[in-house]
Chain A
Amino acid sequence: MKYFNKILAYFVGFVKFAKRLHYNDSMKQKSIFLLSSLFFSTSFSIYAQNPELKDSLNKDSFNATLDEVVVTALGINKERKGLGYSVSNLDGSDLNINGATSISGAIQGKVSGVDIRPSSGSPGASAQVVIRGARSFSDSNRPLYVIDGMPVAANPDYSTGNSTRGANLADRSIDFNPEDIESISFLKGQAASALYGIRASNGVVIITTKRARKKENRPTVTFSTNLSAEILSRRFHPQDLYSQGTKLSAFDPNAASNWGPLISSLPDDSKYGGNSQGHPGKYYNPKLEQAGLDPWVTPAIHDNIGDFFNTGFTENTSFSITQALENATYSFGINNTYQSGVVPTTDMNRWNVRGLVDWTLSKSWKTGFSANFVSSSIHSAPTANNAIVNTVYQAPAEYDLKGTPYHVPGDPTKQVSYRPTVYDNPYWELANNEYYQHTVRGFGNAYLEYLLKFGAENDMSLRIREQAGLDVYTTSDSDVLEKGSAGSNGGSISNYGVTKNIFNNLLTANYNALFGEDFDFDAMIGSEIENRNNRWRSYTGSNFSFFGLPTMGNATVYTSHEYISRSRTVGFFGSLSLAWKSMIYLNATGRSDIVSSMPRNHRTFFYPSVSLAWVFTELPAFRAGSVLDFGKLRVSFAEVGQGGSYKENYMIVPTYSGGMFTYSPVVYPINGLDSYVPYQQVYDPNLRPQNTRNIEWGLDLEMFDHRLKIGYTMAYQDVKDQIFSIPSAGSTGYRYMLSNAGRICTWSNEIEISGTILRHPDYELNVGMNLSTLDNKVVSLAPGVESIMLGGFTSPQIRAEEGHTYPSIYGTAFQRAENGELLLSKGLPVATAGSICIADCAPDFISGFNLNGRWKRISIAASLSWQKGGNMYHGTNMTLNYVGATKESIPWHEGTFVAEGIDVATGEKNTVEVDRQKYYQAYYAITESGVYDMSFVKLRDITLTYRLPKFGNFNFDIFAFAHNVLLWSKLPNFDPESSQGNGNMGGYFERFSMPATTSIGGGFKVTF
């Protein structure tokens, strides 16, 4: 309370100060300068010096924003003015729609408090979206997506697990077409989302699709298309001086590194050089002989990376018809998105068809439906341990990777590669292996609404709405490794997928009443039922009889699994709202959920929320002549529960894979014999709901005739009793126990500022910025548990580490003396034997800057992302350094030196002279060397549009755009927005991941 008074006092002081400024002309320039110097360059001064410009502005359009209505929980429209919590919302026009193939791509950098980490620029790549930091250590932290009032599945169906091999797997938000979005709201705090209950603790993204708004007597037809080309946003340029080998003195065509002699000196090599063997100026490469070529070649430099990557291509075409009639509106649309990636054979093809009808039957009755059909297919490529780009990036410059046949003549199963065949030759892989994901999906809902107005002056209303919806889809994925693959010599085909059937029923009753002039009362009750039926299946065939037919039928060993899971959530909820004199808004909600996935007698949860908004500018003191047009203080409190997936302890058929194995060496049943072992996780029968508490306060200000809007929100979130798979000591016999433990506390600060600098019928200029900071601290895990693994290798891993922000990089570190100097053994760095927490991943802040300008028929939109700080493990840089493939390694190939550091044995300054190469390799063998600062500045989007003069009923826009132009990053050689994993580790762990891309393109839109 003391703090509150203080803050209030400061605030009142600020307002008084601002007010005084406003009336003091001599001070006016200063105040404006003060603000403009923050971020608006000099535009405000122009405005201030040109009063006529100010007058030319259409004031009504600003006042309209005051009464702006936003979509909140359960589709309830509320005046933004009266909200006691922060809701960010964007119009379709605010999004980076052109050239974007996913919603996450379209909203990047646009909203504060929403962290979007794309895994790469490849077609269908997953993106991790987290609102206000993680709430769960190991479960999904993704928000709930609601489209046209119906919750829809958006999480990945399959986790990439530790993400150490295989292809990225898409999340289901890839099924939504960003072009369909009319507006999108982000319910960030729990008070905002409390009405959604158990699913909403990670926030909610509410999407309203495009529909007709203005009544017209003929339909509006829109046709738009855009095409773009994708290139690597940053291309790696390897060193091209030194050849393959483990040491400078000898070429070695089998070596796993590029520390060999100078390429130009290869003909002098004692073993492979031609100068001494009758082939002057040439050298012998046995790999060429294997490939059926003349093994004696003249040293040459090959651009293996340039040879490999394609120019990607994206096409996005939409067609829609909308109309608002007297009693009905309809909207039909069809969209196709096709993208081919920079890595050959990768692509995505998606078709979306949708229809939407709202029909007012009478004064009281209304009905409607929304239906969406999606078919999406994605071809991707493997990453990390069996990455396709691994052997591309590491290829020694003297080896012509593309020009050399990739298999032995006459035997397509016998690969030829500069690297031994534990890695696939990328061209062999392109020709033979396949990673395919396919989904067909239908989702939508229908509703019936009854409205009754009553009371003396019809000042009361009752609205009853029944809505039922379905989200049904089937994914059919396939990983095909042809006979001769490095990962599976005999070849294998794995077909897997899930059929999900989600039914949702929502019944609500809303009561609204005005009491006198001052009070507005609103009450709502309702129930929701969600029923899920999932059937998972996986069929694997391996050891193909012969090459060339990698199908189920040609396999000789088969395994299959099916798993059926069901769940039901039944919720009852209510909300009460009271507004007084458009100044004070009080809102309280409560919801009780009953979930099937918890143990008996632990299934019922209740969570309350309460929020208060005070529009203090309604006070008489602010009425006239104030610089402040609108000011609101808001505060809210909420609690949201989260359930677990409880099961009775069970047994499974054991599997053998992972660790050192690149395939499954033992597959039950063996000789017709099956076996069972206890499942590695044990379930706590006393599981209780996880509890998230959230306190949020904020301030919204609008000033200078609503030209400048500032929103600030501070939120504190305390998650206790997390339900998660607590890693057990292996000696318990179990790997995990599903139970309650741990605590994660998050402070977040979000600032959103937007300003209209110029507005005129002929031109306008709007700028905006948002900035978020997040302190997402793992306060405790479980008794005796210091950290838990989210993914990665033996070392490094991404972990949640007690006492650190979430998540952290964990692995071997340099042994250091107390003063921080490296400890050296025989002149070389030494690693800690155990893995430790090396770095925290969380950035200092992420921010976005937006600009929208128009001059007559030309408009420009641009957005920029700036992330400061944060760490990631970049395995590609580290490995390429270790193998001597980077340009950075060039000075380390030759010579010796005495490294700075303390000798571990003597405790004195190191005096041992070592090979520079040895030192460099010892250094880059230690995980800590692979940790990089993630700071970057990226031009997310710049779009230039020209609207042609209207021709009859035709509006014709043409536009050009560029996306994801990496302007600067601390990370060398690669784009920091490329990483492993489609879950919580996403964004922070990279190893030969699919690359990020920049796209440049253009298109047109016709409306008539």
Chain B
Amino acid sequence: MKRNISYTIYLLATLIAAVGFTGCTESIMDDINKNTSNPPVSSVDARFQLTNAIMSMAFTTYGGLYSWTVASYTEQIFGDGGAQMMYAEMRDPIVTAAPTTFNNEWNNTYHNLLNISQIIDKCENGVNKGQEDLLGMARVLKVLGFQALTELHGDIPFSEALNDGIKNPKLDSQEKIYQSLLAEIDKAIESLNKAISGSQSSCGAQDILYGGNVKKWLGLAYAVKARLLLDGSVRFPTNIQNALASAEAAISEGFSGAELSIFNGVDADNSWAAFFRSRHYSGSSETVVKLMEVRNDPRLAIYATDYFDSGILYAAPGSSLASTIDNVGAPAWVSNEAATIHLLSEASLRFIMAECKARLGMDATEDFKQGVRSSLRDYSNSARIAIEDSDVDSYVLSFDKPDLKEIMVQKYLSQSRDEQIETYNDLRRCMANGEEYIHLTNPNNKDGGDNGENRWPYSLPYGNSDVVSNPNVAAAFGTGNSAGYYIFKQPLWLFTK
């Protein structure tokens, strides 16, 4: 009997083990754990990554919260609604110096740069090996992304960024990043030229910016280079000459603006419009209105509308109207979900050329006028409000031999549409030169009167994810009561002499 029992137990143990083990070999378990709904990174054609690389660059980095907020600093938009944008308008460090403010844009821009770096990898060594057109496009986008980050935040993780093996990327100096970006844009130009000479065109409709037109990308690459050079002209005065040359190269490649026009108000909404639809935080600013009024500018009716039927078309920067909502009127395009988003407008490039020429003592009239015309067209299209051709002509004709100030004012008005980040660069660049073409009126730019501490941010605070998870960035951000206040004290390297 006893023996029977022990047999039974042995038998049972064997049975239990057998039943179990057959269902859990490593290969069965691998199969069970296989992700059947999402593709592994290595297998996806990078063309499919390009689409969102462009979308994210336009929608999130150049058209997102960065621009909505610096638009208040540049006084191109009045921040209202009693919440975050009001605090920005009040120059309250609770928003302007907080690492949480731009955390999403910081993260999303780096995430997009990771996507772009994967495209570059795949073109160099992966499934897209040899596709120079895609490689060139990715490199242009890489420059655009890092340029925005360093010009907004200063010293940032660069050489050690985007590497899952490095958890705490170090900060690189803006100088080093700036030089690397110039080198990168040259590489982009090289790749695009190779693609053109090899008649490569692999992206088709997945390239939502230019529909796979490589020549257009080459034009953009030169335009980006021109803008990058001019942004660095405080540090490197000879850049002005080079910027002009690059801009002219862009024009000769047929550059007519980098304008994402995929927005349709159905499955893709313009970022400013989506923001306005969600929050009603963007109002028209008196600074822009005054500049337009003295010029009898046909864009004024588009810029300042009585959107809420309140009779208040615009507000003075820093006004207490910032605490109200659905009150101050807004530019007409912020309610057009199908408006385009610029990475770099034709008008901006024309004004870059005009500025360069003016600074070099050359005649800038033609570029200036083309810039103004282009901007008027853009205002009109974005708002779906016609400006009569005759009005355009008479407005353009009202300027005879523009001086540098008028060029900068017109560039400012042109970029009030959706290129406020570049205006923010221009303002800081001109400040470094000791030039004031746009007079900023927000009383909160100084804390407690004219002699108070500066509250106009020279840069934007780092993203919170790095402040809390990367000791290198945490150290740069600071601790205690003055954490983050460096943005009021130290202009960026690029914008100091």
Contact = CB atoms under 8 A, between A and B. Distances in A.
Interface string B107-141: 10011111101100000000000000000000000
Interface string A655-682: 0101111110111111101111111101
A422 B327 CA distance: 13
Interface stretch (A48-56, A303-311, A546-554, A559-567): A559-567
Nearest to B320: A246
A920 to B, nearest CB: 14
A732 B16 contact: no
Interface in A523-548: 525-527, 529, 543
B23 A660 contact: no
Given A570-B20, A665-B274, A731-B156, A420 B325 contact: yes
A673 B260 CA distance: 15
A680 B8 contact: no
Interface in B476-497: 477, 479, 481, 483-485
B359 interface: no
Interface in B55-96: 55-56, 59-60, 65, 68, 81-82, 84, 87, 93-94, 96
Nearest to B115: A677
A825 B13 contact: no
A832 B162 CA distance: 30
Contacts of A420: 280, 325-326
Interface residues on B, range: 35 or more
Contact of A422 (B2, B44, B273, B325): B325
A42 interface: no
A421 B326 CA distance: 8
Mostly helix, strand, loop or mixed at chain B's interface? helix
Contact of B481 (A454, A595, A667, A815): A815
A659 B17 CA distance: 52
Nearest to A827: B448
A96 interface: no
Interface in A492-538: 507, 509, 511, 525-527, 529
Interface string A731-746: 1111101000000000
Of A256, A676, A925, which is in contact with the most chain B CB atoms at under 10 Å from its CB? A676
Interface in B381-433: none
Contacts of B168: 729, 783-784
Interface stretch (A28-36, A151-159, A332-340, A643-651): A643-651
B470 interface: yes
A812 interface: yes
Contacts of B55: 654, 666, 670, 675
Contact of A568 (B32, B169, B320): B32
Nearest to A727: B469
B468 interface: yes
A264 interface: no
Contact of B266 (A247, A543, A833, A835): A543
Interface in B258-279: 262, 264, 266-269, 271, 273-275, 277-279
B14 to A, nearest CB: 11
A661 B275 contact: yes
A568 B107 contact: no
Interface residues on A, range: 35 or more
A46 interface: no
A833 B483 contact: yes
Contacts of A830: 93
A594 B24 contact: yes
Interface in A792-850: 794-795, 812, 815-816, 823, 825-826, 830-835
A570 B262 contact: no
B106 interface: yes
B193 to A, nearest CB: 27
B38 A651 contact: yes
Interface in A424-453: 452
Nearest to A912: B448
Interface centre among B112, B113, B266, B461 (most CB of A within 10 A): B266
Interface string A279-301: 00000000000000000000000
A277 interface: no
B294 interface: no
A974 B45 CA distance: 55
A908 B471 CA distance: 34
Nearest to A679: B38
Interface of B: 1-2, 5, 8-9, 12-13, 15-17, 19-21, 23-24, 26, 28-30, 32-33, 35-41, 44, 48-52, 55-56, 59-60, 65, 68, 81-82, 84, 87, 93-94, 96-101, 103-104, 106-107, 110-115, 117-118, 156-157, 161-164, 166-169, 205-206, 208, 262, 264, 266-269, 271, 273-275, 277-281, 308, 310, 320, 323-327, 337, 447-448, 452-453, 461, 463-471, 473-474, 477, 479, 481, 483-485
Given A784-B167, A794-B101, 4 more contacts: A452-B5, A489-B277, A675-B52, A729-B157
Interface of A: 246-247, 252, 254-257, 419-422, 452, 454, 460, 462, 464, 489, 507, 509, 511, 525-527, 529, 543, 556-557, 562-568, 570-572, 594-597, 600-601, 603, 646-652, 654, 656, 658-663, 665-671, 673-680, 682, 727-735, 737, 782-787, 794-795, 812, 815-816, 823, 825-826, 830-835, 905, 925-926
Closest A-B pairs by Cβ, 10 of them: A733-B114, A665-B274, A420-B326, A833-B484, A833-B97, A729-B470, A731-B157, A730-B107, A675-B51, A675-B52
29 contacts: A256-B323, A454-B1, A462-B9, A529-B23, A557-B266, A566-B33, A568-B24, A568-B28, A571-B20, A594-B24, A650-B38, A660-B279, A675-B50, A676-B52, A677-B49, A727-B465, A727-B468, A729-B465, A730-B107, A730-B466, A732-B161, A732-B164, A732-B167, A733-B111, A826-B447, A833-B98, A833-B484, A834-B483, A926-B94
